[in-house]
Amino acid sequence: MGVRTPLFSSQPHLLFWEAKNESQPATAAAECHSKEEIHAVKHATVSARATKRALNFNAGPGALPLPVLERIREELLDWRGSGMSVMEMSHRSPEFDSINAAAEQKLRNLLGISEDYAVIFVQGGGSMQFTMAPMNLCLPVKPIDVLHTGAWTAKAIGELKKGFLHHIAASTEPEKFARLPRPDEMKFSPDASYVHICTNNTIEGTQWTTLPETVNSPLVADMSSDIASRPVDVKKFGVIFAGAQKNLGPSGVTVVIIRKDLAERADKNLPTLLQYRTHIKEKSLYHTPPAFAVYIVGLVLEWIASEGGIRGMEKRNDAKASLLYGAIESSGGFYSCPVEKSSRSKMNVVFRVAGGAAGSATAQNMETIEKKFSAEAAAAGLVGTPGHRSVGGMRVSLYNAVEHAAVEALTSFMREF
C-alpha cells in the first residue's frame, strides 16, 4: 500500500488526485482554488499528463466542456463550503435552492426568455415530452400538426397514435429525410392545437434554419440536439424542450421552456407529475429533482456565458461545421454527405465513406470501409464517428463542447485515411 494522504488536506478537493499521484509534482490543478473562492468556469486546469481525453464526437450523451468537468471534480466532495457533494444535498436546502434558481436564471439570460415563459427542469428525457406535450396541450377536436422529418418525429408520432387527433403537415420520408420540407409542401390545419417540429434531426443530420409559418398555432419544438447552439427567438415558440445531454449537460434532466398560458390548457385530472403546471408552480421542486444534473447544467451555462454566450457558441459551431463539410466536399467524392445542402445540420454531420469512389463501391464494400474508418479513428482517439444504428454511415456530432481542434484532428485524419 502506498503512503496515505492525510485525511484533511489543505486541498480537500484534490484528495483523490494526491493519493494516486503522490510522487508527482504539483500541477496547475493543485494550485487552483480554495473552496470558498468561486471562479469562472472558463479555463481548463487539468494538465495533459493528468488525464487522457478522447476527442468525443458522440451524439449524446456527448462531450462536456473540460472546465466544467474540472469544476465538478473540485467541488465533488465539498460544494462551496457546504461540507457535502451536490449529490448528497437535500433538494429542500437553501444551497440546492440557489443552484436550481441560478440554473434557471442563467438559461433565461442566455436565451432571452421573458417572464411570460416558465423554465422547468424535469425527468424522462426528450422522449417523455413526446407524451407530455400532447397530454397537456391537445385541445378537443383540434389536431396536432406534425412536420415529419426523421426518426425522432417518428417517435413523437408513435405517441400521438395512441389516442391524439393528429395530422402530418409535411413529411420528407419518401426522400429518406435527406432534406427538410419546403414551404409549399407544408399543409397546416387551420385550427391545430399546436405544431410539432424537431429543429435538429440528430440521426438524419438536418436542421431547420428558417422556421415554418404556422398561422395561429403554437410551435412545440424538440430542440434536444441544438438548444443553445445558436440564437433563437423564444417568442416564436409555445414550447421548447430538450434533454440536456447534448448541449447543456449530462443526461437525466430535461429542460422545458413553456409559455405560461399554454400550461393552463391541461386537464387538472392528468397525473400530477405529467402536468407542466405542477413543475411550474413548484419551480421544478415538486418531487426530488435530478439535482446533480441540474447543477451541471448551471455550470455548462456559466461556461457558455464565458465563451461569448449563444452568439459565441454559434460562431464556434459555424466554424467547426464549415471545416468538416469543407473536408467532405473537397474529397473528390471519397466522402459524401447525403443531405441536401440547404438542410444540413451544424450539430450532426452525416456522411458516407468511399461511396462514390470510382462509382464502384458496393453497399457491403462501403460498410466494410466505414467500419475500418471508425475503428482507425477510434484508435487515433477520435471517438463516436459511426452513424446511428438505424441508418449506418458516419455521423459526427459537433455540439457546443466539441473543440475546434478536435474537428481539425478529425479532418486531418480524414485526409490521411
* Nearest alpha carbon to residue 50 among 77, 28, 75, 78: 28
- Residue 337 has a CB neighbour count (10 Å cut-off) of 20
The reply to whether 152 belongs to the active site is yes
Q: Is residue 348 a contact partner of residue 202, using CB atoms and an 8 Å limit?
A: yes
> The C-alpha cell of 402 is what?
466539441
Radius of gyration of the chain (CA): 23
Give whichever of 274 and 409 is closer to ligand PLP, judged by the CB atom.
274
> In the complex, what is the shortest distance from the CB of residue 226 to ligand PLP, in angstroms, rounded to a whole number?
8
Q: Is residue 138 a contact partner of residue 192, using CB atoms and an 8 Å limit?
A: no
**Cα separations in angstroms, 271 against 38, 134, 163, 267:** 41, 13, 17, 9
> In the complex, what is the shortest distance from the CB of residue 108 to ligand PLP, in angstroms, rounded to a whole number?
22
The reply to whether 222 belongs to the active site is yes
Give me the residues that bind ligand PLP (CB under 6 A), please.
60, 125-127, 152, 198, 202, 222, 224-225, 243
Give whichever of 13 and 344 is closer to ligand PLP, judged by the CB atom.
344
**E strands along 51-193, which residues?**
55-56, 117-122, 144-148, 166-171
Give whichever of 245 and 331 is closer to ligand PLP, judged by the CB atom.
245
Catalytic residue chosen out of the listed positions 17, 152, 208, 303:
152
One-letter amino acid of 175 = E
Pairing of strands 166-171, 144-148: parallel
Catalytic residue chosen out of the listed positions 79, 145, 226, 246:
246
Give whichever of 55 and 242 is closer to ligand PLP, judged by the CB atom.
242
Give whichever of 227 and 337 is closer to ligand PLP, judged by the CB atom.
227
> In the complex, what is the shortest distance from the CB of residue 211 to ligand PLP, in angstroms, rounded to a whole number?
16
Match 481548463 to its residue by C-alpha cell: 44
> In the complex, what is the shortest distance from the CB of residue 207 to ligand PLP, in angstroms, rounded to a whole number?
10
> In the complex, what is the shortest distance from the CB of residue 91 to ligand PLP, in angstroms, rounded to a whole number?
21
The set of catalytic residues is 152, 222, 246
